[in-house]
Amino acid sequence: MRETRRYSVYPSDLKPAVSFAGLLEHMKRCGYEEDPTACSNIKYSVDLPDSRSMETTRYTEFMDILSREPQPKEIVVHSHWSTGKSGDLGCIVLLDPGSLNVTVESPDLNLLGGTHDAVRQLFQASNPPSEKSPVLRRFELKKSVFLAHRFDADGNAAAQSLSGFLRRLGFQVAEGEGYEAQEIPAKVSERITSSDIFMCVVTPGDQSWILSEAAYAKALQKYIVLLCEDGVSFSKGILGRDYEYITYPSGVVEKSFTDLLYALP
């Protein structure tokens, strides 16, 4: 029996080595040991930022890779576990920048659910409630915007100019706040949820929490507008293809306003 669960939200500063070490401890507490001979598809694969990849068939070697390479681009784990008494347990984990996919194989329904719950907790993964987030057509949107940006001099300056422009057009504008926690604070997630439009202004610097907020907005099926300063990289892959993308010259977000008029409802 096999069950797959997909999660679209997990902490942007997740430490994979800690989460996978926790998974190993969970298996041991449940009386399971790694069984590298149970399946010909067993592998532990790690894609690295510098176009390298590493692969092994043993969990201990996999953990050694993660200790040396703590920030991989993608991880694929296909593992099997056995108590030596009953059918084995298969656990497949795919972790990439936009999602966490988990497949568990076992003849025991309780074991399926328990393993999934353990993985979800270890990776702090979640999905916003889609039933409360119907897909909105562009011209059915309320004039409410959540504006995501960095809280430094560049980000604040761009956001201030953009916020003033949006308010003159009659939009209600909500913003987040700087934070270092692994999860989006409840206050910020509530503001994203209550706004029909998610707008992200990308300026130089770390984009970790902006990526988390964008992934959260995507999972809520918000109308997404991305304004990116020329020369600044941003992982647009987490948004798929369903968003408006506008660039502007460095330090002059006002240059985007004409294009923004066409992108807004």
DSSP 44-64: EEEE-TTS-EEEES-HHHHHH
Domain count for the chain: 2
pTM recorded for the entire structure: 0.51
151 and 251, same domain (yes or no) = yes
Q: What is the pLDDT of residue 236?
A: 67
CA distance 33 to 83: 6
Q: What is the pLDDT of residue 11?
A: 87
25 and 105, same domain (yes or no) = yes
254 and 139, same domain (yes or no) = yes
CA distance 144 to 63: 45
11 and 95, same domain (yes or no) = yes
Give the residue numbers spanning the domain of 8.
Answer: 2-122
Q: What are phi and psi of 173, to 5 degrees?
A: -120, 125
87 and 176, same domain (yes or no) = no
Residue with tokens 């999934």: 116
- Decide which of 122, 155, 183 is a domain's last residue: 122
12 and 95, same domain (yes or no) = yes
105 and 226, same domain (yes or no) = no
Helix axes 16-29, 59-68, angle to 10 degrees: 160
pLDDT, tens digit, 9 for 90 and up, residues 47-92? 998 889 999 999 999 999 999 988 899 999 999 999 876 668 999 9
Q: What is the pLDDT of residue 10?
A: 85
Find out whether 222 and 192 touch, Cβ atoms under 8 Å. yes
117 and 151, same domain (yes or no) = no
- Decide which of 122, 156, 172 is a domain's last residue: 122
pLDDT, tens digit, 9 for 90 and up, residues 143-170? 999 999 999 999 999 999 999 999 999 9
Q: What are phi and psi of 189, to 5 degrees?
A: -60, -35
109 and 170, same domain (yes or no) = no
CA distance 19 to 123: 6
